[in-house]
Amino acid sequence: MKNRKVAFVGGGNMTRAIAVGLIDSGFAPIDIFISEPVDEARLSLKNELPGVNLSAVNNDIVAAAGCLVLSVKPQILPEVCRDLKTSVQKERPLIVSIAAGIRGTDIDAWLGGGLSVVRIMPNQPALLQLGVSGLYANEKTSDDERDYAAGIIGAVGAVVHVGSEADINVVTAISGSGPAYFFLLIDVLMKTAVDFGIAEESARTLAIETARGAAALADSECESMDTLMARVRSPAGTTAAALHSLESANVRDIFRAAITAARDRANLLADEAHTIGTET
């Protein structure tokens, strides 16, 4: 890619997080372009990201950058893409979409076809530059373009490349929805501690710091999760009792069913978006 500048359509939280991550990693603010139609939001972006180029009109930023990041709500993406079609076909930038549930094939069609399209599924911890994202590039995307897209989203966390677009829906179920699963567990730990007499503030600290430490240990070790659990569990001890209770309740099957439901819902949303995009 000769043009390494990046333009974002939509100035929401994820755009802000990625832009901050890029700048923190050495990306020049003058090489970042953001279109945001809401005046108040644009003013906020101006204050938060000094030096970044801002516009109220989506089409105004297309010619500026070699990579166009679609960062708008999925339900308005078909309309946004069709409005950009003429400009995109003229400039033919690398297209990166972080819109959940919208297939790259549909985005390519709405933009006129024949484009390099990369789909990325980030998650909310990206707002703290602690995210993890799944990435799929279509067959027209060069290795350089794919790596460039990975570098952009890599500014807010780890990147996992997947082999098919269908795998993005698995990523959605695992890491996209995943923070909510951990929030649920933290909530259970907190509320149970309070029920057992621990002060609410102390319960919150115990639960969150336990989660933080467990994740750090899991990240630092090469062993399996079973091995790490065995280190905590002693025969006939408290952890053994807790894990036995969980296993007796088929907690693994419960979580697997929940993750499967999330993946299936992502598939359905993609089908619905395709139908709506075809009709409009």
Average pLDDT over residues 221-239: 92
146 and 53 part of one domain: yes
200 and 240 part of one domain: yes
Mean pLDDT, the chain, integer: 95
pLDDT, residue 280, reads 62
Residue 221 has pLDDT above 70, yes or no: yes
- Within a domain: residue 267? no
pLDDT, residue 273, reads 82
Average pLDDT over residues 206-216: 97
- Map tokens 């530059």 to a residue: 129
DSSP category for residue 225: H
Q: What is the pLDDT of residues 145-189, one digit of tens each?
A: 999 999 999 999 999 999 999 999 999 999 999 999 999 999 999
Exposure on the CB side of residue 220, measured as CA atoms within 13 A: 6
Residue 18 has pLDDT above 90, yes or no: yes
pLDDT, residue 276, reads 75
198 and 244 part of one domain: yes
Percent of the chain topping pLDDT 70: 99
Average pLDDT over residues 99-128: 95
58 and 100 part of one domain: yes
**Tokens coding 112:** 């006129």
Beta strands in 38-125 (DSSP E): 53-55, 67-70, 94-97, 117-121
140 and 117 part of one domain: yes
28 and 158 part of one domain: yes
Contact 258, 184 (CB under 8 A): no
185 and 141 part of one domain: no
How far apart (Å, rounded) are the C-alpha atoms in residues 112 and 222?
Answer: 46
**Which residues contact residue 137 at a Cβ distance below 8 angstroms, ignoring those fewer than 6 apart?**
116, 117, 118, 119, 145, 146, 149
Query: Which ranges of 94-224 does DSSP label H, i.e. alpha helix?
Result: 104-110, 143-153, 166-171, 178-195, 200-220
156 and 244 part of one domain: no
How far apart (Å, rounded) are the C-alpha atoms in residues 39 and 195?
Answer: 47
14 and 141 part of one domain: yes
- Within a domain: residue 10? yes
Contact 176, 30 (CB under 8 A): no
Residue 160's SS3 state is: strand
62 and 109 part of one domain: yes
Question: What is the number of structural domains in the chain?
Answer: 2
Residue 127 has pLDDT above 70, yes or no: yes
Q: What is the pLDDT of residues 53-72, one digit of tens each?
A: 999 999 999 999 999 999 99
How far apart (Å, rounded) are the C-alpha atoms in residues 204 and 224?
Answer: 28
Structural domain span for residue 102: 6-164
| CATH number (domain holding residue 209) | 1.10.3730.10
| CATH number (domain holding residue 29) | 3.40.50.720
